[in-house]
Amino acid sequence: MENNASQDNPLTDDLPPLLRKFGYLQSLSPEEADLLLKMHASKKTIAKGKVLLRQDDIHKYCFIVTHGWAYRYSDLYDGSRQVINYYLPGDIISPFALVMPRVNYAVATISSVRVSIYKPEYLMELFATQPRLGLFYAWMLGREDSSMAEQIIRIGRRSAYQRAAHLLLELYHRLKIVGFTDHRSFYLPVTQSLLADTLGLSVVHMNRTLYRLRLENLIKIRSHKISLINIDRLKEIAEYKGTYLEQMKSLYEIEKELQKIKE
């Protein structure tokens, strides 16, 4: 899907999604933007339905998703599959490659995916000279950790109805930050089978849940485009609080504290 969401996100459309995500927090300096752009120099396109990483693989590179969707999952001994999370534009696959090179999960593409590839050692050099970018990166990893906690709560304590509403809101919010929404709509290339494996449901139960959301005029699905018709009501149903995706202490405050330590 091409980015046609300039009304939702004021950031410059031609910037890679990762820079838009960091720019959502605070404006980047020209030097910071240039260094982040250098991380995007090596590019690769991966076809739909391809496995990018296999469980127990040793990997030496990090991948920035610039276009398309992928998912992180684990295959179980009984042949079933648990989807752990999704990689959207602006996300980094294998952000811990430097310290944890062996993965205990697998990653596969949902659609055709374009990635930029960089060596994780580059981050060490980057953060040494640009501490603010280190804070941005920490925010991104912290947000991913919070999303994982929400996934556990979703599956463990929420009803199927709440799970579906919560996941759709989360995906919408993540895509909006990087400019991949169109008003209250977004491209959703995920099959019902994949959604079921994400939310711990059968495909039949997943189908019934989405039908209920449509019947109550909360969402509209046409082909692979989904519209959230009543976001406020969806938030009530899901008990959704988006702060785990947004929260970050003011970088100005952090910089002041760091300056005090130096003094």
Cα–Cα distance between 140 and 155 in angstroms, integer? 23
- The domain containing residue 63 runs over which residues? 17-262
Band the pLDDT of 230: cuts 50, 70, 90: very high
Residue 8 included in any domain: no
Band the pLDDT of 190: cuts 50, 70, 90: very high
Residue 161 included in any domain: yes
Supply the DSSP symbol for 174: H
Band the pLDDT of 5: cuts 50, 70, 90: very low
- Sheet (strand 185-187) strand order: 185-187, 225-228, 219-222
CATH number, residue 73? 2.60.120.10
pTM for the predicted model, two decimal places: 0.87
Whether pLDDT at 13 is above 60: no
CA dihedral 230, 233, 234, 237 (to 10 degrees): -160
The pLDDT value recorded for residue 46 is 97
The pLDDT value recorded for residue 258 is 59
pLDDT digits over 60-101, tens only? Answer: 889 999 999 999 999 988 888 999 999 999 999 988 777 777
**Helix and strand tally (H, E) in the chain?**
10, 11
* Residue 255: alpha-carbon gap to chain centroid: 27
The pLDDT value recorded for residue 11 is 41
- How many domains is the chain built from? 1
Q: What is the largest CA-CA distance in the chain?
A: 62
Evaluated on CA atoms 9, 67, 247, 195, the torsion sign reads positive
Residue 4 included in any domain: no
Triad 257, 259, 263: Cα angle to 5°: 115
The pLDDT value recorded for residue 242 is 73
Whether pLDDT at 145 is above 80: yes
Residue 149 included in any domain: yes
The pLDDT value recorded for residue 85 is 95
Band the pLDDT of 135: cuts 50, 70, 90: confident
Whether pLDDT at 57 is above 90: no
